[in-house]
Structure 1
Amino acid sequence: MKYRLLLLLSGLFLFNACNNAQKKSRTEAKDEVVYKVKIVPPENIKPPSGMVWVPGGSFVQGAVDQDKFAMNHEKPKHKVIVDGFFMDITEVTNRQFEEFVENTGYKTVAERGIDWNEMKNQVPAGTLKPADSILQPGSLTFLKTDSPVQNLGDFTQWWRWTIGANWKHPQGPDSSIEGHENHPVVHIAYEDALAYCKWANRRLPTEAEWELAARAGAVDKIYYWGNSSAELVSKANTWTGTFPYNNTNEDNYTRTAPVGSYPPNANGLYDMAGNVWEWTNDWYNTGYYRELAESAIPIVNPQGALSPHNPNNPYAKEKVIKGGSFLCNASYCSSYRISARMATTLDSSAEHIGFRTVWDGK
C-alpha cells in the first residue's frame, strides 16, 4: 500500500527503475541434454483462442553487452533454461476484461475503498493519515507537461493521483473505454491480474518466460527486431518527441494503441515492446540476477527471487513488470528493450500497466 499513500499524499507515484535462491521451486541442470526441455507443444492439445505456443529452450537473460541504455538491475546476464508454454498473442483487452467482470462481478483494486489501517503498516512509523477526502478510490493517470522539464527524475511533474480513475475510466471519471474495446486494459494491479487468470484458467508468466517469449530467438539483440532504434517508430507504441512535453504522434498514438497495431515478433506475439507494461509473477529483488549469474550451471524454469528486496524502497513488496509502455522514450526510460525491467508494488495500478497470460496446456 505504500505507493498508494505516496500518490495520495503528493498526487503522484514512482515506478522504481535474492538474498536466497528459490531452491525448492527450481530445477538445476547442466544443459538441455540432462534436462529435456519442452520445445514442442503437448500432443492433442488445442490452445485457447488467441494464444500461441512459445518453444522452450536455453537463452541468456539480461542486458546484452552493446546496450548503452541497460540499467544495473538488468545485469549481470545469465543463462537459463525455460520450458515451452502457450501465451496470449496480445495484451488482455478491455473487451476481454469486461467479460470477466460481467461474469464474476469483480471489482479492481482501483475501484475499492482505501483502508488506512492496512496502508499505514507499510509506510514509515509516524506517517500522518491523509484527509478522508483524499483517501478515495482511484489510480495514477498521466498528465503531459506544459513545457519541457529539466529534471526527468522528478516524476511528480507528469503523474497525478486521480480519484475515479480505473479500468473503465482510464483518464478519470469523465473518460470511457467506449470505442476502445480492443485496447489493452489498464489500471490493473497485481491482484486484479491474478483474479483474471484464475477465472480464465491461466497464470501470469515468470520473468524468464516473458523474456524468452519477447526475445523470440533474437540472440544478443537489444530489441526483438535487432539493434537499431531507428525502427522503433514502426515497431512499437512509445513516446515520440520530447518527454513529457511534446508527443509528435509519429507512431500514430499518444496513449494506448489497439492491440496488434504493430508487427509481431518471431513468436507471433504483439506489443512485447511498448503499449503497456505487463505484470510478471516474479518478486523484484535487486540481488537475484547476481545470484543466478554466480550459479555454475543454468537454472531451469527460474521462478524469481524467494522474497522481494529493493533498497530504494525498503517498505515495498514489488513484482517485476516488463515491456515498457506508450510513455517510454530514449530520454526517459527506453524500456521497450527486451531486457528492460521495472519494479511495482502489488496494489499499484496506473494508466500504463496491463498484462497478458500464459497457459501450460492443462
Structure 2
Amino acid sequence: MQSRVWLLILIILLAPLPYGAWVGVRSAYRWWVPESEIKTEWQQVDAGPPRVREQSGMVRIAAGRTILGSSSTGNVDRQPAHEVWLDPFWIDAKLVTNDQFAEFVKATDFSTTAERRGSSLVFDYDRREWLEVEMACWKSPEGPLSTLADRGNLPVVHVSWHDALAYAEWANKRLVTEAEYELAARGGLIDNQYAWGNELSSDQPEANYWQGRFPHRDLGLDGFRGPSPVGSFPPNRFGLYDMTGNVWCWCADWYAADYYYSSPLHNPPGPPTGQARTLRGGSWLSTGGAGSELAVTARGHAPPHHTASNVGFRCAGGPPATEIAAKSKRRR
C-alpha cells in the first residue's frame, strides 16, 4: 500500500515535465516556427487602426510581439521569419531634416565624416551612376556649388553612422534598432510587404522611390528627383512618415547576414561586433518588385563611415535607450 502511494506521488510530480519541456523548447527555438503559423496567431493585429501617442515630433510604439524577416523571399539575410518581443519605445515621426541637423552643428561645431574626408558619394541623375564628389557633404549635397537653399525640410544626407549617433546623443535620443524599425514600419500589420500594404501604385506612388528600370530610366511618377521633403507622402498606420523610400536610415545595430538564426527573442540588439552597420527603409533610388529594398523586411548595410546622397536617419527614445546607447559607444 505504501509503495502505491509513493508511486502516485511520483506520477503527480513528473506529469508536468513533458509539457514544460515542450514549452521551453518552443520558446527557445521560436524562430523555427513556420511563418504561416505565426501569422495565423496574429490575425487580430490587423483589425482596426492602432492607437498611438504623439509628443514632440515622436510617436510611442507600445510593447508587443512582431515578426522579423520573411521565409518566402530569396534574400537569405531576411531568413528565417521569426517572432520577437519588443519593449515600448519612441520613434521620430519624420526623418531628421537639414534644418534640424544645422541646429546641432551650430550648437556643437560638429564636423561630419564627409567634411573631414573631403568627399562623399553622389548619385549623378543625368549620368545614372555613383560618383565620389569632392567637397560633397550634408550642407553641399551635390558638391561645392550646391547649397541648402530651399532644402531645409529635406532629410539630411551624407551623414555617417557616427554622425547620426552624435546627433542622437546631442538630442538626448538614440538610434533606432533594426527590430524597432521593422515593427514601426509595419504599422501594426503582419502580412504587409510595404509600410502601407502589399501593392505599389502605378499612378499614385505611396513613397519616394525609383519608378522604372534602374538606373536607365526613372518615370518620376512621385514628382521628385532625389530626396523629397519629409512628410510629402501619407504616413503609415502608426503615423510615421518615410518609413519606406526617400533615404535609407542608419540603425544602431551591427549587420550580419545570418543574425536571424541566433537573434534573441527579447529586444534583439544586433550582433556584438561587425564590419558594417544596418540600414533600413530603402531610398529614392530603390525599385519595387521581388526582393525589393522597399519591403519592410529589407536589410541594407554599409561601413559606419559610409556617406552618400541617399542615406540619412531618424532617432528613437525610451527603454532600452540606456543599454543601446552604451553599447553603441563601446562599439565605435
Are 1:40 and 1:55, in contact at CA under 8 Å, matched by a contact in 2?
A: no
SS in 2 for 1:285: coil
Q: What is the deviation of 1:337?
A: 0.8
The aligned amino acid for 1:343 is: H
Whether 2:189 is the aligned partner of 1:191: answer no
Q: Tell me the C-alpha RMSD between the 2 structures.
A: 2.5
Once the two structures are overlaid, the 10-residue window that deviates more, 328-337 or 202-211, is: 328-337
Please list every run of at least 4 consecutive aligned residues from structure 1 whose deviation after the TM superposition is greater than 4 angstroms: none
Other-structure match for 1:338: 296
Whether 2:37 is the aligned partner of 1:56: answer no
Higher helix share: 2
Other-structure match for 1:304: 270
Are 1:275 and 1:326, in contact at CA under 8 Å, matched by a contact in 2?
A: yes
Specify whether residues 178 and 252 from structure 1 end up closer, same or farther in structure 2 by C-alpha distance, changes over 3 A only: same
Other-structure match for 1:101: 105
SS in 2 for 1:209: helix
**Mapped partners of 2:190, 2:252: distance in 1:** 24
Are 2:200 and 2:288, in contact at CA under 8 Å, matched by a contact in 1?
A: no
The aligned amino acid for 2:143 is: G
Which has the larger Rg? Answer: 2
Other-structure match for 2:313: 355
Aligned-residue sequence identity (percent) comes to 40
**Mapped partners of 2:170, 2:29: distance in 1:** 34
**Mapped partners of 2:236, 2:111: distance in 1:** 33
Are 2:138 and 2:157, in contact at CA under 8 Å, matched by a contact in 1?
A: yes
Are 1:60 and 1:79, in contact at CA under 8 Å, matched by a contact in 2?
A: yes
TM-score (norm 2): 0.77
SS in 2 for 1:198: helix
The aligned amino acid for 1:302 is: P
The one of 110, 118, 138 aligned to 2:119: 138
Q: What is the deviation of 1:48?
A: 5.3
State the number of aligned residues: 275
Deviations 1:255-309 (A, max 9, x none): 01000000100110000000000000111012211223xxxxx61111011222x
Q: What is the deviation of 1:143?
A: 1.5
TM-score (norm 1): 0.71
Where in structure 2 are there 5+ consecutive unaligned residues? Answer: 1-27, 31-49, 322-332
The aligned runs of 1:78-89 (5 Å cut-off) are 78-89=82-93
The aligned amino acid for 2:93 is: I
Whether 2:165 is the aligned partner of 1:207: answer no
The one of 246, 252, 271 aligned to 1:275: 246
Q: What is the deviation of 1:161?
A: 0.5
**Mapped partners of 2:315, 2:203: distance in 1:** 25
Other-structure match for 1:220: 191
Q: What is the deviation of 1:226?
A: 1.6
Are 1:64 and 1:222, in contact at CA under 8 Å, matched by a contact in 2?
A: no
Q: What is the deviation of 1:234?
A: 2.5
Q: What is the deviation of 1:223?
A: 1.0
RCO comparison, higher one (Cα < 8 Å, 6+) = 1
